[in-house]
Structure 1
Amino acid sequence: MTTHVPDDAGKPTVLFVCVHNAGRSQMAAGFLEHLGGDRVQVLSAGSKPGHEINPVAVAAMAEVGIDIAANQPKILTTESVQASDVVITMGCGDECPYFPGKRYEDWALDDPAGQGIEAVRPIRDEIRTRVEALIATLV
């Protein structure tokens, strides 16, 4: 359970951060939007965002019925961290600003960049498992 009211809507806001905001964080955001529905607000960003979403990540998510093809990588901002109740980092190290009172988790996940669909499926499935566990603590 969250320990405070995160915003006017009363929904917790979760920010997923990885380096390029093109694979892991986009898949995590896709799962949380799909599984969490209107119970959570979802943000994602990258410390050094890429130019487009990883097409293999898009394909892997499409296999489970989630379309992230229209998403665009976004730059990590101090404001997005401040607006979040939970910040999930995935390999961006110390690039994410720290604010007291926020819940931080670091998910050690392989980077799908440059990998084929066979290698990305287990990453996708691990992200889903972690997102499901996260939802249970939020709502």
Structure 2
Amino acid sequence: MSDKPRVLFVCVHNAGRSQMAAGWLRHLAGDTVEVRSAGSAPAETINPVAVQAMREVGIDITNQQPKLLDSDSVEASDVVVTMGCGDACPYFPGTRYEDWQLTDPAGQPIEVVRAVRDDIRTRIEKLITELAPRPSASS
């Protein structure tokens, strides 16, 4: 069992927003957070415009594959973030749930996807500060 916070990003197709969020969290938090993403109806491949937008900021998500959401992944997570796509997640007490309302990058031009990418980065930076361990009163 790991002491690292475990974060799961969920979107229906697991091909755009959730993959960009997972890429940002891996990039900005390194190995201090366990990162997963999944969807209820995963696409065959990641959105190529999302891949391009992330590549522009030095993050390569081409090796990621859309995955099917299962209740074990949700239960094993400390934080579950849905991406404003109406995906339903199983509920487990003690798990933190957030819904980030984000534009769907599917079929959007690169300019729109860049704005989504940058919005996700801001949200990830805030999430990282919330996940950071707090000093104990005895230290």
Highest CA radius of gyration, 1 or 2? 2
Quick one: which of 11, 18, 22 aligns to 2:11?
Answer: 18
Quick one: which of 15, 21, 30 aligns to 1:37?
Answer: 30
Quick one: which of 79, 95, 98 aligns to 1:86?
Answer: 79
Letter in 2 for 1:20: H
TM, length-normalised to structure 1: 0.92
Q: Which moved more, 1:89-98 or 1:34-43?
A: 89-98
CA distance in 2 between counterparts of 1:16 and 1:27 reads: 9
Name the SS of the counterpart of 2:105 in structure 1. coil
Quick one: which of 112, 122, 127 aligns to 1:119?
Answer: 112
1:9-53 Cα shifts (integer Å, max 9, x gaps)? 210000000010000000000000000111100000011110000
Within the alignment, does 1:77 sit opposite 2:70 as a pair? yes
Q: Do the aligned partners of residues 61 and 94 (structure 1) sit closer, same or farther apart at CA in structure 2, a change above 3 Å counting?
A: closer
Q: Is the 8 A contact 1:12 1:41 kept in 2?
A: yes
Report the number of matched residues: 132
* Runs of 4+ displaced beyond 6 Å: none
Q: Is the 8 A contact 2:40 2:87 kept in 1?
A: no
Name the SS of the counterpart of 1:42 in structure 2. strand
Q: Do the aligned partners of residues 77 and 65 (structure 1) sit closer, same or farther apart at CA in structure 2, a change above 3 Å counting?
A: same
Name the SS of the counterpart of 2:114 in structure 1. helix
TM, length-normalised to structure 2: 0.92
Which sections of structure 1, spanning at least 5 residues, go unmatched? 1-7
Deviation at 1:124?
0.2
CA distance in 2 between counterparts of 1:116 and 1:93 reads: 22
Which sections of structure 2, spanning at least 5 residues, go unmatched? 133-139
Letter in 2 for 1:132: E
